[in-house]
Amino acid sequence: MNTSQNTIPSHNTLPDIQPLLYCWGKNKDGELSLGHSKAVTLPKPVKGLKSSSPIRFLSSGRQHTAFISADGVLYVCGSALHGKLGLEDLTMTSITKLQPLPFLKSQKVLDVACGDYHTLCLLESGEVYAWGGTLHKKLGQRASGRPSIILSLSNKKIISVSCGDFHSAALSQHGELYTWGGGGSYFNRGQLGHGHLKDIETPEIIGFFKQGVKKVSCGGYHTLALTYNDEVYGWGSGTYGECGFGEFVDANAPRLVKVEFEQKGLVFPSIKPKIIDLAAGGHHSLLLSSQGYVYSFGYGSHGQLGLKSTINECEPKLIYSLTNKHVMQIAVGWNHTCVLTESLDLYATGYGSSGQLGLGNDESKTEFTWVSNLAGKNIKRIFAGGNHSWGLLDEKNPTLLDYKPPSPLRESDKVDDLGFIETKPLNLGPVFKKVELHYCELDMLHRFVRFEVIDAFENKKQEVNIYISEFLKEMQMADEGFSILRFSKTQEDQEVLMEINGEVVNQKGNDGKSWTLMMICEPKNQVYDSGFEKLTEFEETAIGEKRLLSMEEVQNSPQEQISSNWMIIFEKKFKPFCKEIAFFELRPSNHK
């Protein structure tokens, strides 16, 4: 249930003296290191940290947590049952503040993973140590509260470790994936990936991955892996669809997870998306794409999939509401999910009974909600595990200087969003023989073309769609450096608002002849022309300021040719077989 580090863009920051690690959620055994065992519903600073060596990484199980400091010291807190804290001769059942691990005090720790009953850590020397309960052979050595080396991994050049409830995994620098443990007759659901349901005493390589694995994440009873050729595989418990391969069944060997990137109208005409990170929770999973989009699948009864529903999904589903946020990091707990966006805002969804969403209450959410208590914090890493969450700040500049509250997430029933309800007709207003521009409070460019084809093209839907596909590719190439196409949708108009003799009337669309193309583009710079202010006046409307232009005016302005180049390309391509073409564009108001 660990998250992988991603590069965060630089922001203007202001030095500030304040805590660097915040936590929230369940704290029954002191796993938040707050000095008490009460649940916390809002982010609170962790106690017992040294300013000279701040925390750089942590892993959290359901009842305990392990921290790695900047100088490689390992700290633990939480439940001490089964010896999972690695503190020998401990008489207390739990510890509510950070304690260094004496056994490893002379060693530098690189990675750590917490399961439900056991703990693994990776040393700078490449050795892997384990401690805690040995129920169902998840440790790779005998039961002990004392850290013990896993000898069979000593010369494997391990670079990361991961834990589930009853299984463990280790990844080598050569892409070899080792797993062991199992869970016995009841808990072994095939999560080891060796093609059988037998428990394994010592780590064994999964021979399936000839191409090599670069990331692994262990969930409660399932496992996800990302290969060097950017494929995702899942195996283990699949009752809730958490493996993502399209069926609600278990799998005892890796199965390919087919990711349909172009969902809900998203298109990638010139950029091939790929998965760059993955995270396995209790019974749900998350994938992060190179475009900053998030896909979820598995158990959804608590809203942890972020899909505004409680339905289980057995294949990756685009989290549509986050498509205007560019997500940089993902983290999952047992039944909740957190994401960190490019603007360093943290959002959470799912089960909230212990306050693990950080919203100040114990309510659950089915859609991602902004954790406003961390507004303005320069969050470097996020973590989640069990029923708690963590936010790690940048130690040099923990506070953002130029911070602004985030804009709302996308909603599917608004025209100024990425899409609209399928049964709702899209009407843009009267068809003018001019270009209609609106400057609104938006982040993205919203482009519309309404056109009516000549009789010879009536009912030739396939041909029209081919031309539109070609246009989108041409537009994306011409717009490179100016904007990125994020979404497109074409529909035949069943109803059209027309201007006839000065009156706007609602007429039935010509079946097979009247079309509307909608596009959403992310602007990359601000090159909009202001020269038209002398030629055309702005008109105040309900959605912003409007102005009307002719195509001649567009073509006669070098600057407007850049921002309206898509219109010029469309008209040139479609004019030979169109009776009418009208352009309508919503632009961010700060680009006026």
Q: In the chain, what are the domain boundaries?
A: 13-398, 435-591
Percent of the chain with pLDDT over 70: 83
Residue 315 has pLDDT above 90, yes or no: yes
Query: Which pLDDT score is estimated for 537?
Result: 59
Query: Which pLDDT score is estimated for 420?
Result: 33
Query: Which pLDDT score is estimated for 533?
Result: 41
Residue 172's DSSP bridge partners are 158
Helix (H, G, I), strand (E, B) or coil at 58: strand
How do residues 430-449 score in pLDDT, each as one tens digit? Answer: 333 468 888 887 788 889 99
Q: How far apart are CA 161 and CA 163, in angstroms?
A: 7
- The beta strands (E) that lie in 150-231 are given as 158-163, 167-172, 177-181, 200-205, 213-218, 222-227
What contacts 457, CB < 8 A, 6 or more positions away? Answer: 463, 464, 513, 577
Q: pTM of the prediction?
A: 0.71
Helix (H, G, I), strand (E, B) or coil at 565: helix
| Cβ-contact 254, 244 below 8 angstroms | no
How do residues 92-105 score in pLDDT, each as one tens digit? Answer: 899 999 999 998 88
Residue 186: CB atoms within 10 Å: 8
Query: Which pLDDT score is estimated for 177?
Result: 98
CA distances from 23 to 387, 391, 532 (A): 11, 7, 53
| Cβ-contact 422, 546 below 8 angstroms | no
Place 44 in a pLDDT band, splitting at 50, 70 and 90. very high
Q: How far apart are CA 568 and CA 520, in angstroms?
A: 17
CA distances from 217 to 35, 45, 62, 287, 329 (A): 30, 27, 16, 11, 14
Residue 551 has pLDDT above 80, yes or no: no
> How far apart, in Å, do the first and last CA atoms of the chain sit?
45
Residue 81 has pLDDT above 50, yes or no: yes
Amino acid at 47: K
CA distances from 481 to 193, 219, 350, 407 (A): 44, 40, 38, 24
Query: Which pLDDT score is estimated for 592?
Result: 52
Among 25, 34, 45, CA closest to 361: 25
Q: How far apart are CA 570 and CA 50, in angstroms?
A: 61
Q: How far apart are CA 380 and CA 470, in angstroms?
A: 41
Torsion of CA 500, 501, 503, 508, to 10 degrees: -20
Tokens (6 digits) for 131: 């401690």
- Is the pLDDT higher at 541 or at 527? 541
Query: Which pLDDT score is estimated for 1?
Result: 57
| Torsion sign across C-alpha atoms 191, 194, 197, 198 | negative
Q: How far apart are CA 45 and CA 18, in angstroms?
A: 9
Amino acid at 184: G
Percent of the chain with pLDDT over 90: 56
Tell me the CATH number of domain 13-398, given options 3.40.1360.10, 2.40.10.10, 3.40.50.300, 2.130.10.30. 2.130.10.30
Place 14 in a pLDDT band, splitting at 50, 70 and 90. very low
Q: How far apart are CA 352 and CA 337, in angstroms?
A: 10
Most confident by average pLDDT, 146-155, 417-426, 485-494: 146-155
Q: Which of 91-99's residues contact partners 24+ apart within 8 Å by CB, and which partners?
A: 93/29, 94/29, 94/30, 94/37, 95/30, 96/30, 96/33, 96/34, 96/35, 96/36, 96/37, 97/30, 97/33, 97/34, 97/35, 97/47, 97/48, 98/33, 98/46, 98/47, 98/48, 98/49, 98/67, 99/75
Residue 586 has pLDDT above 90, yes or no: no
**Weakest-pLDDT range from 84-88, 89-93, 265-269:** 265-269
Q: What is the DSSP letter of 166?
A: S
What rounded mean pLDDT belongs to the chain? 84
How do residues 175-186 score in pLDDT, each as one tens digit? Answer: 999 999 988 888
Query: Which pLDDT score is estimated for 143?
Result: 45
| Cβ-contact 464, 552 below 8 angstroms | no
| Cβ-contact 479, 564 below 8 angstroms | no
Residue 238 has pLDDT above 50, yes or no: yes
Instruction: Over range 284-304, report the average pLDDT.
Output: 97
Query: Which pLDDT score is estimated for 538?
Result: 63
| Torsion sign across C-alpha atoms 516, 522, 528, 533 | positive
Residue 201 has pLDDT above 50, yes or no: yes
Query: Which pLDDT score is estimated for 505?
Result: 44
Query: Which pLDDT score is estimated for 283?
Result: 98
Helix pair angle (461-478, 565-574), 10° resolution: 150
| Cβ-contact 183, 167 below 8 angstroms | yes
Strands 200-205 and 213-218: unpaired
Query: Which pLDDT score is estimated for 439?
Result: 83
Query: Which pLDDT score is estimated for 382?
Result: 98
Residue carrying structure tokens 């390919």: 256
Residue carrying structure tokens 């130029």: 402
